[in-house]
Structure 1
């Protein structure tokens, strides 16, 4: 105690000295700062102060955390402002071009409606039907073809300047060919370059490219069915009409976009095939990449060379899946984004500076208090438990920690004194205990002497009982509580116990073992079979004069060993069985149980199994009053496997390892 007080005194003196020195140096620095009027000492003192501040680890971490917490919202706000401005500006420009596309699609739908009306009227023209089926001698292929061409030209003149390229009638009536400018037979159509496309189409239109000019042509197809009752081919197919539309002329008529503008127009088919394009000369476009972007529904496209952004606006017409796409670049969007970016960056930079000064001030206050607490801890570490209360009126978390630390130091000082007294008392008690210890070998030798005397007197029963009792005592003393033993060794211990009980209660019970040979090498904690067997004797078979049965069985299922100890005794009442189960599993809801003697041993077995192998294993009990009780032990299926470890440098002996078998 004197030495402890001396060390505490030295630690306190050293601490007080360091505190005095630190206080003196701070006071001297304050005086020098007050007396100094030149700017150079002020800068030096400021530098020293900042250096001391930033040398603190907690200060650096706190200021970093505060800056991050404060800066992240600023950056997020800046980001969202830019995104919102970009989207609103882009939406405004896109709406303007959507109106252009709306006008384009309306004109396209109107003109295609006229084309379909024209081809419908041509297919329903009875004059064309009669010319396609006239086989009289007065007429001929050329005369009938001229009649058909005349009717077709009437409709073409009515729909002039609409981009029509050609309108042909193809006859399929056998024995009645027609030949003229706008009429021929299907056999001649087979030699045309568009016929293969027509043959493979499943719709009433198709697209093809002229090999000589490269122009894209859209062809509308309509079968010709005889509708005149007087016609001998009434209701039959007479051929088909193909109306060709030159898409270049068609869209040029209402898309007067000059090449030097910043716009590019694409007319695409349903399969994203380019049918018409009018490209700007101000930038180059990778058409393959652009089509992929359009197919994916992207509204912004970056030019591969310059990196400039193009905005894409697209709209689908009501006819034949044709889609119109306008690509444009607008410097207004970029100029607005640049001005907004400058304003937001300036605002963000100003906010970060303000956050830094706020974080510096707040972190400095917290760091000073934390360092004070650390100084107290170091003081206690050096043995000085007489610390001063410096937490004052601070009731925040740091103040509470400091306050509790002061209380803990007081309790620690008292505990050290109490522990010193307790150690003295324990040493005195240990000396007294050693005086009353009995050497276990004395008991072994005594039992051996009794057995030898019984053998000489030919009292063989006493000799046998003495040997079994000696084996029981040797097993109980030699095993540690957490030691694992083999199943066979545990069974031998039970057999010795059963033998002694059979001498006490002759002809009162019988024992049956159902343990497969392959399970007798399994490992388990020692002394887990005796408590259930004792319960069977002390409770289940207590009043049994004859016919009692105890059965010990074992089985393995999916790497789990199940051991059952079953008797045919009087069983347990339902209410008491619930209490025993609650005490066994210790769920905290049961109160005290009367007569613990039936469950305390089983509770011990259950706790030892779970301590050794985990909560998935343990003991359970089942009982039916008047029929008997069954205890089930659930253990992992473990076998010992011995192998010599090459890296065992301490004793060079074999180590026993336990492996889980399936």
Structure 2
């Protein structure tokens, strides 16, 4: 923990660029990791899709082959039933002992003028020769309890052995399930043949075409090795695992060969309904299931997660290495660039330290046109301005001292004027002219307020000054001026520049007051508007002509300049107040005028709400 703290204090706390490098590196690391994960997930999904598509293609090829086997069997049987001589030959074979069948064949052959008659056995041998995948055909006779095994190069007649019940049970099962593996039918094989593995069979019951009596059963054997050899010529690389299952769930072909499920009932056949989804078999896998025509067979393609994982190991390693290289390269490049800018910042800091020590002659030389170069220019400009300001303030300080001396010498004159006005007021009261005394008192209060040195007063003080000013004219124009003043008590103590409202009121008295009318009205209201103070002065005076009002608004919206206050007439006070507000509070504050000739004028002043202590 102490090492981490020392590292933070030495390399991060006061070094902004090291923080930027660390933050940037962390961000880039996160982004690279996210990108790598996204690429990895995309590639994994692509590999899964390719694996499942290849597996599905293999399953489709195998289903075509099995369907062809099934159709060839059905076509051979149909040839027997479709040819009267062949069907009679098969019926005679199944209903008689083999010696009688041979005598029957010799009698037919010995008839004068009789053509050589084909036998069902020759047709079945022809079928075996044309279908290399079929290894043999067995014909079983129900009436005579014997069976004949036909091979491409041999033919054997055998009689059943074992219990009758066992045979009948086998017949019942094979009538229901036509496809099965040959190890279930070992009774049809010699001791030498029974050692063979990887053979599956198809059975079909045989009937008399005339009486439809069931006479026996035909079983065709197939070698899975031949099936694998044929499949390898069509799909050289088998992706995943391929199973061929009968309707009862017995696996009659497993591409994994030894150690697979061949000859067993597949334990996960219920999960095969979730085609295209991840299902739990021996391990998590995706499955494709295809039906083989009318053959009651299913071809199942299985792609396991482990096989996909093997394909993604190299991808994952490449992404990890690539991501680390990108992060390292990003860190090196960022550090190099940041070090360049850090040197510039250090140059600015050293220069600022010298400026802080009082050396205003320093100038920062910074190449380029970036923000640091702009900062350097501003610092250089600041130094020049400070030098000029110091010179100016030095001269101003001398003048200020002189002005204070003059003010002290003339301080007697305002007191003489206050005393004189007070004497006149007392004389007026003693003579019974109370209104004249009141006017003199108001004038004295106004004069005291205006000659104060304070430039910032409270809103309440500014309103009182305007109230005293209007009292003078209410007394002068007795009965012809009505005054209404309303102030929000919460903003009475807020700060305001001195003499912002009085010039607006004075404008009304000078330019808007109708001295011959008795219904003159003026109202003054101050309210809080969010973070602003809104002061509204409204009257029913002469109003401002449209052209003059347009000129005033143009002057109010113009940028501040020394000449902007040089207007004439009613605009002088307005422009002066507006410019003082903008210079002290900013361009978003100021004065707005709304007037209609003959109906009066409304002036709205907006300033920021500043509590006592801000100015």
TM normalised by structure 1 equals 0.46
Q: Which has the larger radius of gyration?
A: 2
